[in-house]
Homo-oligomer: A and B are copies of this chain.
Amino acid sequence: MYALDLEVIFGRHWLFCATEAEIPEPGDFVTVEVGSTSVIIVRDDDEGVSALLNVCRHRGSRIVDDPCGAVGNFVCPYHQWTYRTDGSLIFAESSQPGFDRSAFGLRRVPVRSLAGLVFVCLSDEPPVDFDEVAGVLEPYLAPYRLAGLKVAHQTDLMEAGNWKLVMENNRECLHCDAGHPELTSAYFPFIQYSPEDVTPRLRALYERFLQAESRLASAGAAAGIPSGSHRELDGRASGYMIRHFPLDGDGASFGMGGKPISRKLVGEITDPAFGDMSLHFQPNSWFHFCSDHAVVFRALPVAPDRTLVRTTWLVHADAVEGVDYDVDTLTEVWKATNDEDRGFVERQQRGVSDPGYLPGPYATVEDDVESFVTWYIQRMQYHFGGGRDHLGLVPRAAAQ
């Protein structure tokens, strides 16, 4: 099943991999490991974003070892084959007569930027619905001007659980009330709740939530954000949900108690109490955009029982560490929350691996978990109904 997940889910869907903010200058790159595949995401010499397979076309050496860096050209360390940042081969020593350099560029991987969020697809026939989804999402995200932000901090957390458990954990907040004391000091744990799901104990909190939601709707309208949420978590290849959520306490940001955590508001946002623009994207990412920062999450499978969660915090490009923000305050809530979630995932991994495990019934407020599972099954059905070969990528030359 793990090999199938890599082939079908991670091999044929748009995967959020990085932010443009990580590669501001030509030659800047990050590498992304998806199973055994390594992709270089690079700001090319035309200021665009290219994605290249990190495998030399000569004898197959990795070109780049580092997780990020900056280059003029890519030089393979084994025999010095040399490639431009667009992947084209410009030097190969002692080649045979008739060798055609233009046929041996680095293989190019389909790549798209959605408002500064870089998505990659490892198939040369990526899902065709991405443009449509991007059209829905861009008006929500454009005011944040994500491509122009800067990376304030980044963490990698290895969780001893299958990637699907990591995603299921992210898709419900029934566990938040008891499990995330830091997060619930800012976050209303009402994802997927309808009024009848609210228990008497949560009633006062829910009333506060409704008032905050109403206030936020006005702020959003004033800022030109589209009204209402969109939820298509299943039923399409590029499943997603976007929703503008109020925050509790000060209502400003993901500081403890909803406090702001950076002094410079991002993009076109002028109202500090702008809540949380929350985006979920199948199969492997989720995002929170606030008035003063963005925090983006990416889960990538490393083994059947091991998943790497990368969290990246973005702030205004001019925000100065130690003056406008400090990293500990900026990251406090989500670092604690990630670590608590790691515990839940790891405990569930051991339990569902028990031969005595029987799947149980979902709670009323676990709809998005069910949507994730439905999406997964739909994509497998689509594949077995007639998919294409994995990694049918086009070599650089042929692609031109």
Interfacial residues, chain A to chain B (CB-CB below 8 A): 11, 35-38, 53-63, 65, 77-80, 92-96, 99, 104, 107, 122, 168, 174-175, 178-179, 197, 199, 343-344, 347-348, 350-365, 390-391, 393, 395
Determine which of B37, B78, B365 lies in contact with A347 in the assembled complex, contact meaning CB atoms within 8 Å. Answer: B78
- Of B55, B94, B95, B363, which is within 8 A of A95 by CB? B363
Set of chain B residues within 8 Å of A360, measured between Cβ atoms: 56-60, 104
- Contacts A37-B355, A347-B78, A354-B37 hold; do A363 and B96 have CB atoms under 8 A apart? yes
Looking across the interface, which residue of chain B has its beta carbon closest to that of A359? B60
List chain B residues, Cβ under 8 A from A348.
Answer: 59-62, 78
Bound Cα distance A57, B36 (Å) = 35
Complex contacts, A80 vs chain B, CB 8 Å: 178
The chain B residue with its CB closest to the CB of A92 is B363
Given contacts A59-B348, A78-B175, A351-B61, A356 and B37 within 8 Å (CB-CB): yes
User: Which residue, of A57, A80, A104, A355, has the highest number of chain B Cβ atoms within 10 A?
Assistant: A355
Nearest-neighbor residue (CB-CB) of A57 within chain B: B360
Residue of B nearest to A178 (CB): B80
Given the interface pairs A347-B65, A361-B96, A365-B94, the reply to whether A354 lies near B104 with Cβ below 8 Å is no
CB-defined A-B contacts under 8 Å, sample of 23: A35-B355, A36-B350, A36-B355, A37-B354, A53-B354, A55-B351, A58-B360, A60-B354, A60-B357, A60-B360, A62-B348, A62-B350, A77-B179, A79-B175, A79-B178, A79-B363, A92-B363, A94-B363, A94-B364, A96-B363, A104-B360, A107-B356, A107-B358
Tell me the smallest distance from the CB of A122 to a CB of chain B, in Å: 8
A199 pairs with B356, CB closer than 8 A: no
Contact call B60/A363, Cβ cutoff below 8 A: no
**Contacts A94-B197, A361-B99 hold; do A390 and B347 have CB atoms under 8 A apart?**
no
Instruction: Tell me the minimal C-beta distance from A214 to chain B in angstroms.
Output: 24
A79 touches B174 (CB 8 A): yes
Across the interface, A354 reaches (CB within 8 A) one of B55, B359, B365, namely B55
CA distance A58 to B359 in the complex (A): 7
- Say how far A205's CB is from chain B's closest CB, in angstroms: 15
Q: Nearest-CB distance from A293 to chain B (Å)?
A: 29
Most chain B beta-carbon neighbours within 10 Å: one of A96, A107, A351, A364:
A351
CB distance A354 to B56 under 8 Å? no
Provide the residues of chain B in CB contact with A358, threshold 8 Å. 55, 57, 107, 395
A176 to B: closest C-beta gap in Å: 10
A302 to chain B minimum Cβ distance, whole angstroms, is: 14
Given A174-B79, A364-B94, A355 contacting B58 (CB threshold 8 A): no
Chain B residues with CB under 8 Å of A168's CB are: 59
Known: A59-B348, A80-B178. A54 touches B94 (CB 8 A): no
Residues of the B chain whose Cβ atoms lie less than 8 Å from the Cβ of A363: 58, 79, 92-96
Known: A36-B355, A363-B93. A344 touches B78 (CB 8 A): yes
Report the 10 A-B pairs with minimum CB-CB distance, sorted nearest first. Answer: A94-B363, A60-B352, A60-B351, A53-B356, A62-B351, A58-B360, A62-B347, A61-B348, A55-B351, A57-B360
If the complex has contacts A79-B174, A95-B361, are A390 and B355 also in contact, measured as CB distance less than 8 A? Answer: yes
